[in-house]
Amino acid sequence: MSEKEVALVTGAGRGIGLSTVRRLLADGFHVVMVDLSAQPLETEAATLRAAGHPVEHRVLSITDRAAVAAMMASLTRLDVLVNNAAVFWDGRFDSITEDDFTKMYEVNVVGTFVMAQEALKVMKRGSRIINVASRAYLAGYAHAPYITSKAGTVGLTRGMAFDLAEKGIMVNAVAPGLIETDMFRSLTPERQQELIAKQPTKTVGQPEDIANGIAFFADPRTKNVTGQILTLDGGRSMGISIY
């Protein structure tokens, strides 16, 4: 059995997931990186291993129950599960299809559920599950399937937190706001500035800011906290100022 605590991060090949992997390694975890896409996952994992970090990687979909079960069975221990993998696309409500709606729900909610259920077969008392929701669960234009899925992530977090509290497993979530990832960089400079102007801080968050919130819930010193949603969004969820 690993001397170090083991953390598993989904959607680990890039963005917030990769940043979380780096942070959890710095915090002393052995990390299992999971992603549906072999690239850039394999390259990033190889780079981290070459630098001496204790990293494993697995290519699979979080919606594939058999693959997830086989992966969990291959682990000697699991202390932290970070359910970060998700898909995102937008579209106004009158133009989205039922397929758009169900596919997003399948990955963002059912995939998270499958990962957590299978993880429980390996987890012991004191383990932690952290789900990555989004501030978008509150509301937003042209995002009905995504909002629904992230509201589902929040509901799942709170429901799981109740059911698993007696087993000594804490379940919490982070809700990122505007974060400078490939998605944000793909917007026009004008649109980027428009979104930043709406932030009380007038800044865009970095993946490391979200990794920092995840690290708080992952830390074995964080006890007696469950069912919480930590919103990391530059204050935007406070709503508009009336002054």
Ligand X SMILES: NC(=O)c1ccc[n+]([C@@H]2O[C@H](COP(=O)([O-])OP(=O)(O)OC[C@H]3O[C@@H](n4cnc5c(N)ncnc54)[C@H](O)[C@@H]3O)[C@@H](O)[C@H]2O)c1
Give catalytic residues, as residue numbers.
146
**Cβ at position 194, least distance to ligand X in Å:** 15
Which 3 state secondary structure label does DSSP give 2?
A: coil
Judged by CB under 6 A, does residue 134 bind ligand X? Answer: yes
Tell me which of 80, 111, 120, 145 binds ligand X, using CB under 6 A.
Answer: 111
**Cβ at position 13, least distance to ligand X in Å:** 4
Selection from 38, 36, 20 nearest residue 80 by Cα: 20
Identity of the residue numbered 197 = A
What residues from 3 to 62 belong to the interface with ligand X (CB under 6 A)? 10-11, 13-17, 35-37, 61-62
Judged by CB under 6 A, does residue 85 bind ligand X? Answer: yes
- 211-219-56 Cα angle (round to 5): 65
The enclosing H or E element of 229 equals strand 229-232
Measured distance CA(129)–CA(82) in Å, rounded: 6
Provide CB contacts within 8 A for 159, sequence distance 6+: none
Tell me which of 176, 209, 215, 226 binds ligand X, using CB under 6 A.
Answer: 176
Strands 80-83 and 170-176: unpaired
What 8-state DSSP symbol labels residue 7? E
What residues from 182 to 211 belong to the interface with ligand X (CB under 6 A)? 182-184
Instruction: Output 180 or 219, the one with its CB closest to ligand X.
Output: 180
**Cβ at position 212, least distance to ligand X in Å:** 14
Instruction: Output 89 or 93, the one with its CB closest to ligand X.
Output: 89
Name the residues that contact ligand X, by CB under 6 A: 10-11, 13-17, 35-37, 61-63, 84-88, 107, 111, 132, 134, 176, 178-179, 181-184
